[in-house]
Amino acid sequence: MRRTVARPVGEAEQPVPGETAAPALRTEFDFVLPRGFLDADGVMHREGSMRLATARDELLPLYDARVQDNAAFTTVVLLARVITRLGSVARIDAQVVENMFAADVAYLQDLYRRINTEGHTRAGVSCPSCGHGFTVDVAGGRLGES
């Protein structure tokens, strides 16, 4: 636990001199979909953000009638809850996730697993030619930035 210096009401908490502040918890992760979501107007959306899941995010889908009828729908409901932004799509709901390409849903499932169990989006890989190992950020970015 981090100790703090007493402060007057309304002032920001200050760390004790000489102690290093704990790094801020990262709760939102940007991503770039491998294929992209094609909306009803023909606009492709690839860039978005996903937030860390809460216990509530994982519990509420269990009460959803669609999930009770088909457990595979859990992924759709869960992703719709934690995706906070997808291009200029105004509202991300289960219908948006249902209409994504399978490759993008698989990518988002992997991203969800990484950020919620490992706390980051990095993965260890190795060059198929020389075998040299290195780390990449699987959340991606523009070409050449991952």
* CA separation for the pair 83, 51 (Å, rounded): 6
Percentage of the chain surpassing pLDDT 90? Answer: 53
Maximum alpha-carbon separation in the chain: 61
Contact 67, 74 (CB under 8 A): yes
Stated pTM of the model: 0.68
Contact 34, 107 (CB under 8 A): yes
The confidence band for 105, taking pLDDT boundaries of 50, 70 and 90, is very high
Q: What is the pLDDT of residue 24?
A: 77
* CA separation for the pair 60, 50 (Å, rounded): 18
